Amino acid sequence: MRNLIAFFKRFRVFLFFAFLQIIALTIYVRYLSFPKSQYLTTASSVTAKVLETQNDFTKHFNLSKNNLALQKENIRLRKNLPQSLYRIDRSLLKINDTTFKQQYAYIPATVIHSSVTRRNNYFTLDVGWKQGVKRDMGVFSDKGVVGIVHNTSEHYCVVKSVLTKDINIDVMIEPIGLFGLLKWDGKNARRGSITGISNDLRIKKWSKVVTRGGSGIFPRGLSVGRVESIKGIEGEPLWDVVVKFSENFRTLQRVYIVKNLMIEEQKELEAQIPPDEEDK
């Protein structure tokens, strides 16, 4: 107590001056409009900057969670698309909720490792058979088709990228409906080609290329890319169709795995097709 009294005696002049300064500044800001507005503007700017920084910091840490939520929302919406449904009753007169049955389901995944510079490229996803992933399931992104599941473990799977030698995805060119197999020559990660297209029909540049859906791996109509160039193959009645992929594989991150709920029925039926004599 004695020390406190001594402190006030020693600095009484300075403390009295500081007290008067506080009173003077309070009166100045409170009763004069310009200083008051300047003070409030500065305070608001500082507060806004602090809140903006806080929001950016929080948003960064919630980015992965938000992306996953968006993937799940996309799956919910995609399940209701016509491409994901199988029509039970083909009658044009009957219209009700039992006309369609879900054929395709989707599993969200994140790319954790990938390559694009090899002749045969693969990428790894953070889901496996425990999440329902099986070999030969299709994989696509929001932009387009990206590959087919090659192998799985409990929590991971390896996907054969479109950028491989023997990918062989059945595709078609809209709107004319010409179909063939998607190939990759190992040169450019943004471009592939379609084989088996007859040159008796004209193909417009930048026509959309989509999945045909015949193999049951992908639903019909998923984007693959657009026709960039067409030229004849010497000595053959076929077009060499170059496709610019919808997806940039160098920046691929979020994908969906396609689960065809009727694939076993299709395989079982197709296995009963008798082979040609030449195949025996």
CB atoms within 10 A of CB 145: 27
Query: Is pLDDT at 213 greater than 90 in this prediction?
Result: no
H or E segment to which residue 195 belongs = strand 191-198
Q: What percent of the chain has pLDDT over 90?
A: 43
Q: Where are the domains of the chain?
A: 2-58, 107-263
Cβ-Cβ contacts under 8 Å for 259 (sequence gap 6 or more): 104, 105, 106, 107, 132, 134, 137
Which of the residue ranges 40-54, 103-117, 183-197, 265-279 would you say has the lowest mean pLDDT?
A: 40-54
Q: What is the mean pLDDT of residues 149-162?
A: 95
Amino acid 112: pLDDT: 93
Beta bridge partners of 124: 113, 158
Amino acid 215: pLDDT: 85
Band (pLDDT 50/70/90 cuts) for residue 2 is low
Query: Is pLDDT at 278 greater than 70 in this prediction?
Result: no
Q: What percent of the chain has pLDDT over 70?
A: 66
Separation CA 41–CA 270 (nearest Å): 74
Query: Is pLDDT at 134 greater than 70 in this prediction?
Result: yes
| Average pLDDT taken over every residue of the chain | 78
With CA atoms as reference, report the closest residue to 224 among 249, 197, 199, 198. 249
Residues 74-118 pLDDT 10s: 666 655 555 544 444 433 333 334 445 678 889 999 999 999 999
Amino acid 132: pLDDT: 93
DSSP for residue 214:
-
What is the CATH code of the structural domain delimited by 107-263?
2.40.10.340
